């Protein structure tokens, strides 16, 4: 048989007490609570809207990038870099600037750097490389290594060597790592930093004994030993 609760028992029932407290708290703080709820709704809506906006922006940037890549593939580096005012097309510089938050905008920085290099504008190439965010893994190695080669050609030898080492360590493997380590070692040898150069050749011979750079590493190591 179910038990009938007295008025006093009902008044002291924990569930009813909690409901009463919650109701009282809401009444006393309803302005703040409603503001928080509305704020959450606004933020959530804004995030969803931003995602749609970002996707649309990325699509537009990719379309513009494809046109500039067309110029690039034809060797027309000036139009690839600056666009065509007659055809009203974007170049890599404009894409990188106007769509900086997109993947296409980031890639445009790299294309702009290479195009500038092809046009013998070394300083501009270095500036654009500095804005490029290289992808992780093997896909980022080539761009970092190319950046090192431009630094070396521009006379920034120490920085070039360090960048080659960065490329070697970006994705450690039997192919790109010993190649970039050897490039760094050759620069340090030219700078007469024989100790660092020897450390790098030993690293190649120890860590990558089957690489195609082993022969050149032995040769350079012999030159280093003769210089010490």
The residue-averaged pLDDT of 71-90 equals 89
| Position 15 in a domain | no
pLDDT at residue 44 in the model: 53
pLDDT at residue 225 in the model: 87
Whether residue 226 sits in one domain with residue 153: yes
Q: Which domain holds residue 84?
A: 21-113
**pLDDT band at residue 73, thresholds of 50, 70 and 90?**
very high
pLDDT cut 70: percent of the chain above it: 76
Q: What span, in angstroms and rounded, lies between the C-alpha atoms of 216 and 182?
A: 8
| Position 206 in a domain | yes
The residue-averaged pLDDT of 211-226 equals 93
Summarize pLDDT for 153-206 with one digit per residue, the tens. Answer: 999 999 999 999 999 999 999 999 999 999 999 999 999 999 999 999 999 999
Summarize pLDDT for 111-152 with one digit per residue, the tens. Answer: 999 999 999 999 999 999 999 999 999 999 999 999 999 999
Whether residue 103 sits in one domain with residue 44: yes
The two three-digit tokens of residue 180, written as one number: 């970039």
Whether residue 165 sits in one domain with residue 209: yes
pLDDT at residue 171 in the model: 94
The whole model's pTM is what?
A: 0.73
The residue-averaged pLDDT of 89-110 equals 92
The two three-digit tokens of residue 128, written as one number: 């654009």
pLDDT at residue 185 in the model: 97
Q: Which of 91, 85, 86 has its CA nearest to residue 67?
A: 91
Check which CATH number belongs to the domain holding 179 and give it.
1.25.40.10
**pLDDT band at residue 60, thresholds of 50, 70 and 90?**
confident
The two three-digit tokens of residue 21, written as one number: 């407290």
Summarize pLDDT for 2-36 with one digit per residue, the tens. Answer: 555 554 544 455 554 554 555 565 566 666 655 66
Task: Return all residues near 155 (Cβ < 8 A) that are at least 6 apart.
Answer: none
Whether residue 228 sits in one domain with residue 138: yes
pLDDT at residue 10 in the model: 45
Residue 52 pLDDT exceeds 90: no
pLDDT at residue 21 in the model: 57
Choose the final residue of a domain: 53, 80, 113. Answer: 113
- Do 126 and 150 form a contact (C-beta atoms < 8 A)? yes
Choose the final residue of a domain: 113, 145, 162. Answer: 113
Q: What span, in angstroms and rounded, lies between the C-alpha atoms of 191 and 222?
A: 16
| Position 8 in a domain | no
- Do 184 and 164 form a contact (C-beta atoms < 8 A)? yes
> How many domains is the chain built from?
2
Whether residue 83 sits in one domain with residue 45: yes
| Position 148 in a domain | yes
| Position 178 in a domain | yes
């Amino acid at each position: 048989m179910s038990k009938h609760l007295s008025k006093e028992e009902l008044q002291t029932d924990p569930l009813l007490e909690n409901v009463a407290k919650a109701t009282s708290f809401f009444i006393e703080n309803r302005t703040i609570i409603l503001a928080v709820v509305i704020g959450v709704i606004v933020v959530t809506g804004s995030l969803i809207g931003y995602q749609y906006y970002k996707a649309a922006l990325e699509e537009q940037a990719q379309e513009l990038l494809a046109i500039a890549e067309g110029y690039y593939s034809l060797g027309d580096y000036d139009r690839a870099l600056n666009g065509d005012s007659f055809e009203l097309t974007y170049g890599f510089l404009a894409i990188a600037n106007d769509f900086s938050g997109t993947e296409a905008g980031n890639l445009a920085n790299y294309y702009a750097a290479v195009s500038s290099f092809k046009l013998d504008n070394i300083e501009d190439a270095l500036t654009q490389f500095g804005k490029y965010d290289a992808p992780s893994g093997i896909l980022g190695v080539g761009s970092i290594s190319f950046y090192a080669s431009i630094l070396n050609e521009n006379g920034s030898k120490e920085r070039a060597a360090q960048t080659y080492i960065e490329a070697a360590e970006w994705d450690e493997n039997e192919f790109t790592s010993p190649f970039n380590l050897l490039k760094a070692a050759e620069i340090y040898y030219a700078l007469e930093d024989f100790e660092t150069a020897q450390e790098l050749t030993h690293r190649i011979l120890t860590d990558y004994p089957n690489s195609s750079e082993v022969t050149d590493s032995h040769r350079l190591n012999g030159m280093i030993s003769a210089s010490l």
